[in-house]
Structure 1
Amino acid sequence: MTRFLSLALLAAATLVTGCEAVDMGQAEARGDTEEIIVLTDSATWAGPVGDAIRAELGRPIVTLPSNQGAFKLRHQPLTSRFFENLKLQPNLVFAAPIDTEGDIGDFLRARVGEENLAQVRSGTVSAVNLREDLWANNQLVTIATAASDSALAAQIRRRGPELRQAYETLARERTIGEMFSRLQQTDLEEELLAARGYRVNIQYDYVKVQDTTATVAGRTGSFVRYRRVLSDTWRDFFVFAQDGVATLPPPAEIDRITDGLLETFARGSLDSSYVQLDDQRPMRRGTAEIAGRPAREQRGFWYMTNDLMAGSYVRYAFVDEETDRLYVYYGMTFAPSRTLDKREFLRQMEAIVYTFRTAADVRREADP
């Protein structure tokens, strides 16, 4: 896992928290990948600190139909009775002002240490300490404290993007492990590698539905598509690869490529129906790194023309400089029931692309 900055300071002084020896044989974290448990007292949870945590870690995802939060947040008071069980949860946040009464206050003061309490109480230092694998493997723990509610809330909001990224990275890595822990279709992966020069991990119940050469938006390349269709949901992804491309095209051109491929291959039940990107609803663009390559990420909604079907998608576009090859990965989900966790389904689409490897990548990893 990526190593995160251990300590953030609002002043030049350094806050040293208590150290714990890491047991190399410690257990794997277990629990809901999409849930963060927030350990604090009721007053803190109902005040500015709770508001800041909800705003940063539970903020709505505008590119999901149900506007689900980035994570499910569960408030729980800290008690010694349940502490050992909590230490095996994957996502934890301990947060409260330094002089809060009760178990959470005792816990935070012990972590800060007697020699640093004066600095925290004076407001010289506020800290948000991110710890990976603290008590279990594949775990992320945030320990946050400051002199007052307002100071701590401000620090959490300032560190919000970093905190969110840290928990999202862990969630993606845990999702990859959960998806491919059993019955991974290595035969399809090797087939893809031999035929197309790259591979992605393919979960046990995905089916290849297209493998061909396609020409869209004036570009010709290979097109491979896989689907997982259940009674009430489906997940669907494709990879388009074009040789002779040294520079990543602009987003508008990648949109045209995507829409062209969807119109050709993602057809509905009617002759006039096919999937397209929905440019009338929220869309978000960002950057990512796929197998060491800078990539452009885009998230938004798709819709079926002349039909009522719609859902969310995530797309990554990047160029492999070794081969001058453009790759466009697109994954979409359809989960109409309000009871289904659409955030989890879309994270699965995201997880697949992070398993992408070219033939050269595979050789390097086999013989580093």
Structure 2
Amino acid sequence: MSGAIIALGRVRGCVPLHFPIFPPMRRTLVVPDVLLLGTLLAGLLLLSGCEGDYRPRAVGPIGEITVVMDSSHWTGPSGEALRANVTPWVETLPVSERSFQLRHLELTDERTYERVQDLKNVIIAAPLSDSTNETSFLRRRLSDEAEQAILDGQTAVVPKPNLWRRSQRIYYVAAASPDALAETFQSQGTQIRDTFTEATLQRMDRNMYEDDRRSALEDTLMQRHGFAVNMQSDFQIAVDTTTGSEGFVWLRRLLAQTRREFFVYYVEDVSPDQITPEWIYNTRDSLTRRHLRGNVRGFAKIDYRRPLKTEQRSFLDRYAYDSRGLWYMVAPLGGGNELRPVGGGGPFVNYTFYDQATDRVYMLDGSIFAPDNDKIDLLRQMEVMARTFRTAEGSRSPDASPTAAK
């Protein structure tokens, strides 16, 4: 397989007005001149470009991807490759969850197509060797040159942000054969997932902070520590302390069925070379033993019996370690050093990095306790909160891109 085609032909304007596989019935309709003029003006405004976009936002569960694919491929190697690479199981949760929930549809009629146009996250995929509705849909959007290139062995993985609605992420995926389609998801599934994840975090940022901020507390953090993160209105500062060259702030959101914890730790005079996964784990355990204690007894600790993953990545334009795993409450057994579980636990996400502007090592850590809920979307809220981090010396964390968030 050679590279991916990224240009499709015959896609006219921002909003396709009908589904060509199921053409609308011809009707004769008498329209008053004034109404006709208004309708034409509205249509011109809608199709004059995507600037000043007043279309409704896409709908649907925030953590769901709809896959439009013929059922024979959905249950075959192509569907298996999509599930394994676009929505793999997340093992660093108490019970494994898929990175996105999946919903399967076939383009059986006009009504189904209209439903698809409303949704947040959509993949429309087909091999061009088929004669299915999904294949016909993609063929009609390919130039002759692009179609021939695919039949000759190229693949097409084409993002179409905000195609029919605002805050929407659509992918067209085409290949010559079913086997080639499966190989496409195997080779490019991670990139597709990353795009959906980024769009999801941007949407969550807007939902969390558009009308719900504790700006006064954020200003307090900036004045006292030289950094801030966005806080929803029901977050409280549980611990705020500085000792010598270190600082620690623990933020909490306590609701009836869930608990969210977020802490920021920073230390000066630490070389970036000292930051390793082991340093991160030991530092986190030391901090939670001191500060994140139970109401009656015990303290939070990383559960090393379960999957624990650390990766290097770029975070807010900084070189960082991204760590994910599980925490649980423990207490000393008798008078010795042995620890025993005392109940409670959940997932955490941790970003640790060196900030050159402040000459500090920062650790941003979000964890949740939600025994009766799915965890992945709650943990994403902690990721969104971490992404709002900014310092007095640097600029604010990057705003959500208007492509996906509006």
When normalised by structure 2's length, the TM-score is 0.81
1:63 counterpart residue number: 92
Q: Which residue of 318, 336, 353 maps to 1:293?
A: 318
| 1:162-196 deviations in Å (ceiling 9; x for gaps) | 11111111111111111112221111111111111
Contact 1:207–1:226 (8 Å) recurs in 2: yes
Q: How many residues are treated as equivalent by the alignment?
A: 349
CA distance in 2 between counterparts of 1:314 and 1:363 reads: 21
Consecutive unaligned residues in structure 2, runs of 5 or more: 15-49, 331-340, 400-406
| 1:206-234 deviations in Å (ceiling 9; x for gaps) | 1111101258xxxx511101111112211
2:202 counterpart residue number: 173
Cα distance, 1:42–1:283 mapped onto 2, change above 3 Å: same
Contact 2:349–2:365 (8 Å) recurs in 1: yes
Q: Indicate yes or no: 2:228 matched with 1:199.
A: yes
Cα distance, 1:364–1:307 mapped onto 2, change above 3 Å: closer
Q: Which residue of 346, 350, 356 maps to 1:315?
A: 350
Contact 1:49–1:96 (8 Å) recurs in 2: no
1:114 counterpart residue number: 144
Larger radius of gyration: 2
| 1:234-260 deviations in Å (ceiling 9; x for gaps) | 110100011233415222112111111
Contact 2:6–2:158 (8 Å) recurs in 1: no
For residue 387 of structure 2, what is the amino acid of its counterpart?
Y
CA distance in 2 between counterparts of 1:331 and 1:13 reads: 37
| 1:263-300 deviations in Å (ceiling 9; x for gaps) | 011111343x1100111210111133333212110000
2:170 counterpart residue number: 141
1:264 counterpart residue number: 290
Consecutive unaligned residues in structure 1, runs of 5 or more: 1-9
Q: Indicate yes or no: 2:394 matched with 1:361.
A: yes
2:8 counterpart residue number: 17
What is the CA distance between 1:100 and its match in structure 2? 2.6
CA distance in 2 between counterparts of 1:361 and 1:81 reads: 50
1:210 counterpart residue number: 239
2:60 counterpart residue number: 31
2:121 counterpart residue number: 91
CA distance in 1 between counterparts of 2:308 and 2:123 reads: 30
Q: Which residue of 332, 337, 344 maps to 2:367?
A: 332
Cα distance, 1:13–1:128 mapped onto 2, change above 3 Å: closer
Cα distance, 1:20–1:288 mapped onto 2, change above 3 Å: farther
Contact 1:15–1:116 (8 Å) recurs in 2: no
Aligned pairs for 1:124-139 (under 5 A) are 124-139=153-168
1:3 counterpart residue number: none
CA distance in 1 between counterparts of 2:113 and 2:148 reads: 27
Q: Secondary structure at the match of 1:245?
A: coil
Q: Secondary structure at the match of 1:187?
A: helix
Identity of aligned residues (%): 33
CA distance in 2 between counterparts of 1:168 and 1:221 reads: 33
What is the CA distance between 1:157 and its match in structure 2? 0.6
CA distance in 2 between counterparts of 1:304 and 1:291 reads: 31
CA distance in 1 between counterparts of 2:3 and 2:208 reads: 43
What is the CA distance between 1:12 and its match in structure 2? 6.1
CA distance in 1 between counterparts of 2:396 and 2:230 reads: 16
Q: Which residue of 260, 265, 287 maps to 1:235?
A: 260
Q: Which stretch of the first structure deviates more once superposed, 125-134 or 36-45?
A: 125-134
CA distance in 2 between counterparts of 1:352 and 1:12 reads: 36
CA distance in 2 between counterparts of 1:233 and 1:12 reads: 46
Contact 2:323–2:350 (8 Å) recurs in 1: yes
